[in-house]
Amino acid sequence: MNLPGNIVVGTDFSEQAEKAVAYAIELAKRLGAHVHLVNSWLMPAASMGEAALFSAEMIDQLQADAETAMKKALARHREVFTDINGLVMCGDARDVVIKVAADKHAELIVVGTHGRHGLRRALLGSAAESIVRTAPCPVLVVR
């Protein structure tokens, strides 16, 4: 078993995701690993009749907002750990994290969880659970 040299961390920039990022950074420091911070965004759900409401400018703004948030997160985290980069992609977070992990040959994925239970979890699903089930490498879930 090889210790992780590449760690992919999924983030939505929430407080819970920041806990996962902090954990991954501490682990990476001790292992001499590289951290790939990943954020994904989706166009808000709309019916076919409403789809025309989303202009190219609005979609560009969603991407720009996500990139701005990523730059701020990277600036904050680089104060304590410089071997970190960030990537923003359009898509479902579950799919994007898995794709980036495969592309970067990650040996570990770190994600946060909101710890939902019962009906809320059943209705909303669990990105962390989906990533655990489909990941090409071990997954560490931080709560």
Model confidence pLDDT, tens digit, residues 10-20: 999 999 999 99
Residue type at 135? A
Give Cβ neighbours of residue 130 (< 8 Å, ≥ 6 apart).
94
Give the whole-angstrom CA distance, residue 86 versus residue 104: 12
Using CA atoms, how far apart are residues 100 and 134, in angstroms rounded to an integer?
A: 13
Residue 93 has pLDDT above 90, yes or no: yes
Plot region of 109 (φ>0 → left; ψ -120 to 50 → alpha; else → beta): beta
**What is the fold, at CATH topology level, of the domain defined by 6-142?**
Rossmann fold (3.40.50)
Q: Is 91 left (phi over 0), alpha (psi -120 to 50) or beta?
A: left
**How many whole angstroms separate alpha carbon 68 and alpha carbon 83?**
19
Sheet holding 84-90, edge to edge: 84-90, 34-41, 6-10, 108-112, 139-142
110 has pLDDT over 90: yes
85 or 47: which carries more pLDDT confidence? 85
pLDDT at 118: 56
pLDDT of amino acid 124: 44
- 76 C-beta neighbours (distance < 10 Å), count: 11
| Average of per-residue pLDDT across 109-134 | 74
Query: In the prediction, which pLDDT does 85 show?
Result: 98
Given a cut of 80, is residue 120 above it in pLDDT?
A: no
